[in-house]
Copies of this chain bind each other. A is one copy, B any other.
Amino acid sequence: MVAKKETQDETKEKQEMQEELEELEATETEGIDIPEVSEVEELTSKFSEMEDKFLRARAEIANMSNRNKNEREQLIRYRSQDLGKKLLPAIDNLERALATEATDEQAASLKKGVEMVLESLTVALKEEGITEIKAEGETFDPNLHQAVQTVAADDDHKAETIVNVLQKGYQLHDRVLRPAMVIVAQ
């Protein structure tokens, strides 16, 4: 009976251990381990995605910064384009006025004043980067000059050179505000 009892106890103990073991294995499989691996995977993937978004945002910041720097430089470099362009007819008219005869005392005095004004305008434009396009005697360049008339080339005037300037051209740095109107030898 004692042995039988022991065996019964042992059987019971064994059964309990079996249950505990099953429970543990079950817990391990369903509750903690597998979901944690997938949570780690999910988090790793979410992190990578966010890191990617951050790196792209940082690249965009660098691009914007460069783009804006260039844009600002261009705006400053060519800021006087519009006003400069509008001043050209005034300069033409002042030059035309100076080309007229002024033998009278009043007219001579006026001309002197106009000369000074023209000089100060030219200086102001030059300081903003607006200069006259070289034309007379130069080789014709369709980017800078507009041919309005041609003459036959001769010993003094080689073909493709500018013989005469009918209206001055102006450029703002590398940009042509108005091409020079010229007569070209051909």
Residues of A within 8 A of B (CB): 3, 6-7, 10-11, 13-14, 17-18, 20-21, 24-25, 28, 32-33, 36-37, 39-40, 43-44, 46-47, 50-51, 53-54, 57-58, 60-61, 64-65, 68, 71-72, 75-76, 79-80, 82-84, 86-87, 89-90, 93-94, 96-97, 100-107, 109-111, 113-114, 116-117, 120-121, 123-125, 127-128
Q: When A24-B25, A40-B43, A43-B44 are in contact, do A84 and B87 touch as well, CB less than 8 Å?
A: no
Q: Which residue, of A18, A20, A57, A127, has the highest number of chain B Cβ atoms within 10 A?
A: A57
A14 → chain B closest CB, angstroms: 5
A110 partner, pick from B51, B84, B114, beta carbons under 8 A: B114
User: Cβ of B90 and Cβ of A100 under 8 Å apart?
Assistant: no
Q: When A21-B17, A40-B39, A96-B113 are in contact, do A83 and B86 touch as well, CB less than 8 Å?
A: no
A62 → chain B closest CB, angstroms: 11
Top-10 shortest CB links A-B:
A106-B107, A86-B124, A79-B79, A57-B57, A104-B104, A43-B43, A97-B113, A54-B54, A107-B107, A36-B36
The prevalent SS among residues of A at the interface is helix
Complex CA gap A20/B22 in Å reads 11
Complex CA gap A123/B72 in Å reads 27
* Cβ contacts under 8 Å, A104 to chain B: 104-107
